[in-house]
Amino acid sequence: MGAFRAAGKAPPSVILVDDILTTGATAAACARALLSAGALEVGLLTAARSLGGAVPARCYNPRGLLPGSVVARETFSR
Q: Give this prediction's pTM.
A: 0.68
- Report d(CA 19, CA 2) in Å as an integer: 21
**Which residues lie below 8 Å from residue 68, measured CB to CB, with a gap of 6+?**
48, 49, 51, 61
Asked if 21 and 49 touch (Cβ cutoff 8 Å), the reply is: yes
pLDDT in the model for residue 66: 62
- The whole-number pLDDT of residue 39 equals 92
Q: Give the residue extent of every domain in the chain.
A: 13-77
Per residue of the chain (78 residues), what is the pLDDT tens digit? 577 888 999 999 998 888 887 877 888 888 889 999 999 988 888 887 777 766 666 665 666 666 556 565 555 556
**Residues 48, 53: Cα–Cα separation, whole Å:** 13
